[in-house]
Amino acid sequence: MFIKKRKTISRVCFFAVFVALFCVTLAGCGNSFELSIGEEKISQEEYLGVMNDIKLDVANELSRKNQVNIDNGFWQTELNGEFPYKVLAERTIDEIKQIHAVYELAKENGYIDSVSYDDIKKRMNEENQIRAEKIEKGEAVYGLSSFTYNVFLEYEMDSLQKQYCEDLSNPGMEVTEDECKAYYDENKDTMFTMYDDFTIQYVRVPYDGYLTVEEKNQIYSQMTALYAASDNNIGDKISDYPELSEYYGEEEILSDEADYMSKTIGDVMEIGYSLNVGEKSSVIDQNGYLFLVQCIDKVEHDYKPFDSVKNNIEKILREEHYNKIVEEKAQELEVDCDLEKIYSFTLENIN
């Protein structure tokens, strides 16, 4: 009996030691993630939310850069001296710094009281509650009926940017005339060109899913004949080709109408812009359509006047200044962590 008791006691002691060691191990794992940015302690939940949000972009970037597939071993495979899971960890920290820089700047200006992750979630829940109550009462709700955290974060950060940029007394929000003109001159070829005013006549025939091969060929032949018969403009001869009449159109398109009109006949306009007055295109087979286009009249324009786009330029420059201020603030935020532990935590939580 004494021997049996000693064996039982030994087993109990062994089990107690095992449990104690297991608990210590768990405690160690629980404390392995410690990250502070500025004065804010970053939770695992906040870190993982950002990490998972950017994970695919990081993976695709490294995959393209190194011409490798994203397989089960991708994150632990060394690629030109760097491990993808470490790159992901560093990018996650950088992204959190950017987010906190936006909120730190907003707090300094009195737009919010707190920059903490928990308080952002609290504001999200409050906004969702407001929207739910409005929906229940039958009131209009603009935008989403409710927010997920990432969508709310983007929504709130956009609102904070707008609030900052609309207060011209804030640092960086003064934009000079010279700065606006310099931006205009630098970008006018890509951003501030005007469409020409022009009038076009055209035949536009959809055939993919509408016409048999034989019917398409017949239409093509008639369009070719119309092209040859039209000395001045195709509109004068379209009545001679009744099968083409339903596909015929004539439009006068002014510069400020071009964006709107392009939603319906953008393909025709693209062909028409390249033509001189009186010039006809050949019969073009493109993207499931047959085209015949003629430019009847054109008034050429140069650039949008500076004064007409000045307000837009000021808005663009203020947003650029704001982004620079945020970037500088992000660089100022100190990161306190054991980076090797962050690397390990990242690797353990990549799904």
- The b/e string for 99-108 (b: 16+ C-beta within 10 A; e otherwise) is bbbbbbbbee
The interaxial angle of helices 149-166 and 306-332, nearest 10 deg, is 120
Contact between 47 and 350 under an 8 Å Cβ cutoff? The reply is: no
Output 308-315 pairs: Cβ under 8 A, ≥24 positions apart: 309/184, 309/192, 310/180, 310/184, 313/175, 313/180, 313/183, 313/184, 314/175, 314/180, 315/165
- For every residue of 109-131, DSSP letters joined together read TTS-S---HHHHHHHHHHHHHHH
Beta bridge partners of 303: 193
At residue 238, the pLDDT reads 95
Rounded Cα gap, residues 199 and 197, in angstroms: 7
Residue with the two structure tokens 């704001």 = 322
Beta bridge partners of 253: 198
pLDDT digits (tens, 9 = 90+) for 242-296: 999 999 999 999 988 888 899 999 999 999 988 999 999 999 999 999 999 999 9
pLDDT digits (tens, 9 = 90+) for 73-84: 999 999 999 999
Rounded Cα gap, residues 45 and 117, in angstroms: 9
Rounded Cα gap, residues 275 and 281, in angstroms: 7
Cα angle 292-293-295, degrees, rounded to a multiple of 5: 160
Residue with the two structure tokens 């890509």 = 190
pLDDT digits (tens, 9 = 90+) for 45-83: 999 999 999 999 999 999 999 999 999 899 999 999 999
Rounded Cα gap, residues 120 and 127, in angstroms: 11
At residue 255, the pLDDT reads 87
Rounded Cα gap, residues 183 and 270, in angstroms: 28
At residue 259, the pLDDT reads 86
Instruction: Give the alpha-carbon dihedral of 142, 147, 152, 155, to 10 degrees.
Output: -20
**What end-to-end distance do the CA atoms of the chain give, in Å?**
53
pLDDT in single tens digits along all 351 residues of the chain? 434 444 444 444 444 444 444 443 433 444 479 999 999 999 999 999 999 999 999 999 999 999 999 998 999 999 999 999 999 999 999 999 999 999 999 999 999 999 999 999 999 999 999 999 999 999 999 999 999 999 999 999 999 999 999 999 999 999 999 999 999 999 999 999 888 899 999 999 999 999 999 999 999 999 999 999 998 889 999 999 999 999 999 999 998 888 889 999 999 999 998 899 999 999 999 999 999 999 999 998 889 999 999 999 999 999 999 999 999 999 999 999 999 999 999 999 998
Rounded Cα gap, residues 275 and 200, in angstroms: 10
At residue 231, the pLDDT reads 81
Q: Which of 28, 5, 76, 19 is nearest to 346 (CA)?
A: 76
Q: What is the pTM of this model?
A: 0.71
Q: Which of 271, 267, 205, 202 is nearest to 234 (CA)?
A: 202
Cβ neighbours for 41, distance < 8 A, ≥ 6 positions apart: 34, 35
At residue 321, the pLDDT reads 98
